[in-house]
Amino acid sequence: MTTLKETVQADLRYSAWATRRVLEACAALSDDEQRRNLSVSHGSVLNTLHHIYVSERFWIECLVADSIPPLDEIVNAPAPPGLQFDELVRSWPVICDEIDRWLAKATDETLSQTLPFKLSSESQLDIPRWQIVRHFVNHATLHRGQIVGMLRAMGRKPPCVDYMEHLLP
Could you state, in order of their start, the residue ranges of all structural domains in the chain?
A: 4-167
Question: So what's the pLDDT on residue 55?
Answer: 92
Q: What is the dihedral of CA 121, 122, 127, 132, to 10 degrees?
A: -50
The answer to whether 18 and 140 are in contact (CB under 8 A) is yes
Question: So what's the pLDDT on residue 137?
Answer: 96
Question: So what's the pLDDT on residue 118?
Answer: 83
CA–CA separation, 16 vs 25, rounded Å?
14
Q: CB under 8 Å to 136, separation ≥6 — which residues? A: 15, 55, 56, 59, 60
The answer to whether 120 and 71 are in contact (CB under 8 A) is yes
Question: So what's the pLDDT on residue 78?
Answer: 75
pTM, to two decimals:
0.93
The CATH class for the domain spanning 4-167 reads mainly alpha
pLDDT tens track of the chain, all 169 residues? 689 999 999 999 999 999 999 999 999 999 999 999 999 999 999 999 999 999 999 999 999 999 998 776 666 767 788 899 999 999 999 999 999 999 999 999 999 999 998 877 778 889 999 999 999 999 999 999 999 999 999 999 999 999 999 999 8
